[in-house]
Structure 1
């Protein structure tokens, strides 16, 4: 149940507690958190792809995708790359520490429209975080979807997130294609940039949706590759949550052309944003 105070002040976060911290890479940490209000936690509902604003008291707040799926509700998971003051403070948090959380925000993936379709996930580095929530949701509802392929790459094996889950993804019916940018001692999977691996795999666009997230340069060349394979603009989906600030359409920081990422997104298909790519 939402209290009147929260309704009157959309900037007021709920109190939450860090339950577990996982070091994914040298500069990416995953937090598993729960709301302190048990009734709110039990009633918390969200769509894959929606985001939350994490507050570190005395420092500020920043936006991160909820990368746990709504089918698994014991905690809410966020993965954070250390890139500035707020993320540095988040990386200093430990189990038992308290934070503020405003969530869920944004629109999320329209997974109902993907039922019966083949799904292609293409991720790079921390870009796997928003894909993970939808991937796990689909594993937990595996009969609703056709082939699920995930191409996931990073600079080196040490830069891949969620390595402890890869076997679960495979046993859950995911064709997982892993790659790193260059040769690495002991690495037995693919070697090459993600767009190159996409070209080699050459998935058919027939009845398939492609969902892409990663570094901007990767996304740029993946989009070229998907178009060369014959994917239509509406078949290509990406997420832009990094641009969000206030999360409620007031500050204007996240506008891209006529779109506000926090209100109209962060999930868009390529048809919706292709004319604004120079602004991304």
Structure 2
């Protein structure tokens, strides 16, 4: 493919914006024509006059007439994300290019129990994987979702969590570090770290895969506890975050060892990256 096409943007019109937390919004965007993305992949999202940032696709793409609708959950972490979250509204136009990267291995995980472990904003890249399993429920075993945030007000997708809590097709366990505030109908099961919930799941680890995303310290702890529970390192998958600029493995800013996050990831089995994660600051 020509380099110019690799870096070309598609116009994306904002159809909906939902305030998730004081610094996080979910934007529903309409892109003309056909657009497909695997759960776990990301787009480069561009705001004219400010620049672009890598953002995980946070919902399964769906058709709306001649358009494809996609979701991006964006938290303020820098100038571009601040501009998007604070200034963009319904009717605004952003640029998107992608999707890029390797997503969650859902087809390879068919017939297995699926354990999702998410911390904070880490639920966003996992949300389309949960949706995919629910849409293809007969192809998977048990679905267990473990989700944690610092406080109830910082939980994402609160309305969906309420629905998950009533679902008989999955088991949801929610934890908060500090029980400040109360969200009606959101099932909060535990005060503490989300990784503490791993000991409470009733899953045969020999017939299961785990998908993990969140702060890196949480990812490391979750993977260690999953291995202690008997999960295979080949079936523990993590989504990692590094600074990404090009999205196609050219610039090298997202390199981790011999991997490029944007091209080879962001999803890896822990077996692939455990040696690199053991090195502080890498």
- TM-score normalised by L of structure 1: 0.91
Q: Structure 1 residue runs of 4+, over 6 Å off?
A: none
Query: Does the CA contact (< 8 Å) of 1:63 and 1:241 recur in 2?
Result: no
Distance apart, 1:263 and its partner CA = 1.1
> What's 2:149 paired with?
154
Q: Deviations over 1:154-212 (max 9, x none)?
A: 00100100011124334261100011013335475321111222224364312000110
Aligned match of 1:127: 122
1:241 deviation in Å?
A: 4.3
Seen in structure 2, the aligned counterparts of structure 1 residues 73 and 276 have a Cα distance that, compared at 3 Å, is farther
Counterparts of 1:59 and 1:223, CA distance in 2? 37
Partner-residue secondary structure (3-state), 1:45: coil
Count, aligned residues: 270
The alignment partner of 2:131 has SS state of helix
| Contact 1:139 1:172 survives alignment (8 Å) | no
The residue aligned with 2:135 is 140
Post-superposition CA distance 1:41-81 (Å, at most 9, x none): xx2122111100000111110001111114x3441000011
Gaps of 5+ in 2: none
1:163: which partner in 2?
158
Match of 2:13 in 1: 17
| TM-score of the superposed pair, with normalisation by structure 2 | 0.90
Secondary structure of 2:6's counterpart equals: coil
Contact 1:30–1:79 at 8 Å: present in 2 too? Answer: yes
CA distance in 2, matches of 1:198, 1:110: 21
CA contact (8 A) 1:115 1:145 kept: yes
- TM-superposed CA distance for 1:150, in Å, is 0.3
Partner of 1:50: 41
Distance in 1, matches of 2:230 and 2:125, equals 25
1:183, 1:168 → 2: CA distance?
Answer: 21
Show structure 1 runs of 5+ residues with no match.
none
Could you say which residue in structure 1 is the equivalent of 2:26?
30
Aligned to 1:179: 175
The corresponding residue for 1:267 is 267
CA offsets per residue over residues 247-274 of structure 1, 9 Å max, x none? 0111100111001111111111001111
Retained in 2: the 8 A contact 1:63–1:242?
no
